Homo-oligomer: A and B are copies of this chain.
């Protein structure tokens, strides 16, 4: 999916919601555990309940890997069940030396056919560039993340560059790729920084986790983070997936997704 198509979906659905499929088998409703594949059944039900309210699904590879090769198969089956007009993001945070990153790109873009994959920047240019140059595919590089640990390295000041580390990550990555194939992860818990980051990277989409269970403020993030073509994908995972642990889990997940979509529609009217 390219940038124009993504912007069209956002306009049409009045939503920039990404639903994180961090599906934890120990947290899904007990009545699903008798199904042949509880996680897949759960994911399909969540997607049926939310597909008209969101523009992206983001399975987190850790949750599938924790179930071994069967989990990996469930990840493939989950991705295959995503409707064509919804962006798929493998939240994998990969990154390695060139020939290995090229292998990861092949795994996610070719073997699994996702639209986007999250990439960790620590290993630099040759770890990021192999994820570029795939038609209508995206690398989403970690810039400033939503967790407490983001203060350990990402916000340290660099002497010569006179920036914080994450700012140099953004600046270097922008030299490597345009806004047509690169996005940045910017945590919603860092709302104070988001206007600044928008000024650094005016045209790029930001994938914003941290709304919901992690406590980020959707309205603040939207007000400070929008660019002219929205430029945000805001992710919620746990608050949607585990809105109920009963038989009404899909209905309650839809209600939470609907609440977020309506808040997004309001923000689009107010701030765009």
Contact B76 A68 (CB under 8 A): yes
Contact A62 B107 (CB under 8 A): yes
Query: Which one of A1-9, A115-123, A217-225, A240-248 contacts B?
Result: A115-123
A194 shortest CB reach to chain B, Å: 18
Query: Which one of A10-18, A40-48, A96-104 contacts B?
Result: A96-104
Residues of A95-145 contacting chain B, CB below 8 A:
95-101, 103-104, 106-108, 110-112, 120-128, 142, 145
A55 shortest CB reach to chain B, Å: 22
Q: For A69, give its contact among B62, B69, B104 (CB under 8 Å).
A: B69
State in angstroms the CA–CA spacing of A22 and B101 once bound together.
12
**A35: Cβ under 8 A from any B Cβ:** no
Chain B residues with CB under 8 Å of A269's CB are none
Interface centre among A122, A146, A161, A169 (most CB of B within 10 A): A122
**A190: Cβ under 8 A from any B Cβ:** no
- Given known pairs A100-B60, A103-B66, the reply for A153 and B168 (CB within 8 Å) is yes
Contact B160 A158 (CB under 8 A): no
Contact A125 B98 (CB under 8 A): no
Contact B126 A153 (CB under 8 A): no
Chain B residues with CB under 8 Å of A158's CB are 156-159
Q: For A76, give its contact among B62, B69, B111, B125 (CB under 8 Å).
A: B69
**A227: Cβ under 8 A from any B Cβ:** no
Additional 12 contacts, C-beta under 8 A, given A65-B103, A65-B104, A120-B122: A24-B103, A62-B94, A62-B103, A62-B104, A66-B107, A68-B112, A71-B107, A97-B149, A123-B147, A124-B148, A124-B149, A125-B152
> 6 closest pairs, A vs B, by CB?
A124-B149, A124-B152, A62-B103, A65-B107, A69-B73, A157-B159
